[in-house]
Amino acid sequence: MLGTLPLMALVIIAYNIIVYLTGATMDTQITTVTLISGAMWTVTIGDAILFMGFMLLFFELISATRTGASTIVNHALSMLVLLIALVQFIVLPQFGTSTFFMLVMLALFDVIAGFTVTITAARRDFTVGE
């Protein structure tokens, strides 16, 4: 059951929770780190959400190498997550930010790369004789 859950949904859900329950914006500062060069690196909520999205996209690509019914369901649910995120971006003003646009793009890459990797892995599994 957990193999069918698209991980990008977790990032979209986290964004929704931050926007609706905490009222914080993506520009809200989490921490500031002083680098060796003396530069101040400010980490915002938007940065943390995008980092989490990239990490989960990596794990999604690894799981896309499997073939089976759960992988097909995962791809279909990933497409649904992309559709929901795209509608939120277009319709809801709280989601019309660059951070959320990047999350929508990560969801799009998840769908495209997931299908591409699965098809490539499936071709290797099935040999076509002459």
Q: What is the pLDDT of residues 69-113, one digit of tens each?
A: 777 888 889 999 999 999 999 999 999 999 999 999 999 999 998
- 23 in a domain, yes or no? yes
Do 104 and 89 form a contact (C-beta atoms < 8 A)?
A: yes
- 130 in a domain, yes or no? no
pLDDT value for 116: 86
34 backbone dihedrals φ, ψ, rounded to 5°: -90, 120
Is the pTM here over 0.75, yes or no?
A: yes
- 24 in a domain, yes or no? yes
25 or 64: which carries more pLDDT confidence?
Answer: 25
pLDDT value for 75: 86
pLDDT digits (tens, 9 = 90+) for 27-72: 999 999 999 999 999 999 999 999 999 999 999 888 877 777 777 8
pLDDT value for 126: 60
pLDDT value for 33: 94
- 26 in a domain, yes or no? yes
Residue 23, CA distances (Å) to 16, 28, 85, 91, 109 in order: 10, 10, 19, 18, 28
How many domains in the chain? Answer: 1
Question: Which residue range is the domain that position 116 belongs to?
Answer: 2-125
DSSP conformation class of 47? H
- 46 in a domain, yes or no? yes
Which alpha helices (DSSP H) does 7-127 contain, by range?
A: 8-17, 45-63, 69-91, 98-125
- 71 in a domain, yes or no? yes
Q: How far apart are CA 59 and CA 101, in angstroms?
A: 20
